[in-house]
Amino acid sequence: MTNFIGRLLTQTSIYDEYSAFKRTRDISKKISIATISVMRLLCIGVTAFVLFMMLIILISQRLLKKPVIREKEAIEGDLYFIVVGDWGRNGTFDQDKVAHAMGEYCKSNAVNNNGKCHFVISTGDNFYDDGIHTEDAEQFKTSFENIYTHPSLNNTPWYVVLGNHDWRGIPKHQINYNKKSKRWNMPDHFYSMLIPKVVQFVFIDTAPLDDRYQTNPKMNKDISSQNQTKQLEYIKEQLRVADNEKVVWKIVVGHHPVYSAAGHADNPYLIESLEPILEEYGVDMYFAGHDHNLQYLTNENKTTRHFVSGAGSEVRIDIVPHEMLKHDVMESGFMFVSLRRDSVNVTFVDKEAKARYTVPIKSLI
């Protein structure tokens, strides 16, 4: 046996083995040489296969930015994320201040993750006034990379949707930026992100669901060729995936609010097409932007809680009475969400990184 292993490990070449095999007339020796050769080839084969697979995994991780965050990362503590909207203004208005407050708030409140938020969600209107017009537009730097630089947000992934101002430019450039930036995630107009057993996010493109934009001369003409049915079917399909995966929370993110107590008001198109899906599939939260403030709306007959977070740079003081409005903050800021299987807290935070209001939500499951 030791002799066998010894020979397996000696450095004789395959060719030497082969000539030894040919030379010997002893059948048991022949078998032993053949066995050793086969085992050596197997060792080489398995090693090569493992190395090859490692290479494939490495390459694919670089190419396909993983839209799925692993369970262990999500559950060891709470999951922390920020929801911010309507921000890209080269740092002007309050964009710089809000960016700094986002980092500061994560630093002191993402307690189980070393003061780092897991990710940031953008509710759209990423680049004012007219979106992105060229592949390498300066605004990717002046409104995004150079603004969200706080150490607590430095390498934090962003999950982004398109707003109506983004649709004034060429949305494809923002989608392609997915491949260029380490932090920017928007692989398509609509997509999803699953954290197994915990939460499913569905990110959607609401401007094409609002027919009024199709005749708006400021919009990219492509908006009318977007297939509304296809997107609505995708949303349902992803919410069924959420059920199959037995997640506790379902969250949908779009730019336009279904309900809003501010200037842009309720959206009749989304009330007709999107809200029935949110209710039928038991979506827990719908996050939007578009109105430039922070709002929480719901009523006793609705499953879905509606949040408006569109105060990432400019603020508008235009709240009007609304029977679903539970709270609003008419200042620039963002929402900080801490989420675990049994509860979620959505906190409204202002540009001084002060918590202004928290919506505590308990899981029904």
Ligand X SMILES: *[C@@H]1O[C@H](CO)[C@@H](O)[C@H](O)[C@H]1NC(C)=O
Instruction: Write the interaction track for ligand X spanning residues 265-284; mark x where CB under 6 A is met and - where it is not.
Output: --------------------
Query: Least distance in Å: CB of 157 to ligand X?
Result: 20
Decide if 155 contacts 183 (C-beta within 8 A): yes
Give every CB contact of residue 75 below 8 A, 6+ residues apart in sequence. Answer: 197, 198, 340, 341
Decide: is 138 part of the binding site for ligand X (CB under 6 A): yes
Decide if 241 contacts 200 (C-beta within 8 A): yes
Q: Which CB, 33 or 205, lies closer to ligand X? A: 205
Residue 125 marked ligand-binding: yes
Alpha carbons 358 and 296: distance in angstroms, whole number: 10
Alpha helices, DSSP H, located in the chain: 2-9, 14-23, 27-63, 71-75, 95-109, 139, 171-180, 228-244, 268-273, 275-280
Output the CA torsion 315→254→358→344 (10° steps): -160
Q: Which of 264, 306, 322, 327 is catalytic?
A: 264
Decide: is 299 part of the binding site for ligand X (CB under 6 A): yes
Residue 292 marked ligand-binding: yes
Residue 16 marked ligand-binding: no
Q: Does residue 306 have an active-site annotation?
A: no
Decide: is 303 part of the binding site for ligand X (CB under 6 A): no
Residues 338-357 that bind ligand X (CB under 6 A): 338-340, 343-345
The stretch among 7-15, 38-46, 108-116, 299-307 that binds ligand X (CB under 6 A) is 299-307
Give every CB contact of residue 98 below 8 A, 6+ residues apart in sequence. Answer: 84, 87, 311, 312, 313, 332, 333, 334, 351
Binds ligand X by CB under 6 A, chosen from 69, 85, 89, 165: 89
Residues 14-73 that bind ligand X (CB under 6 A): none
Active-site residue set: 264
Binding site for ligand X (CB under 6 A): 78, 89-90, 128-129, 138-139, 142, 227, 229-230, 233, 299-301, 338-340, 343-345, 360
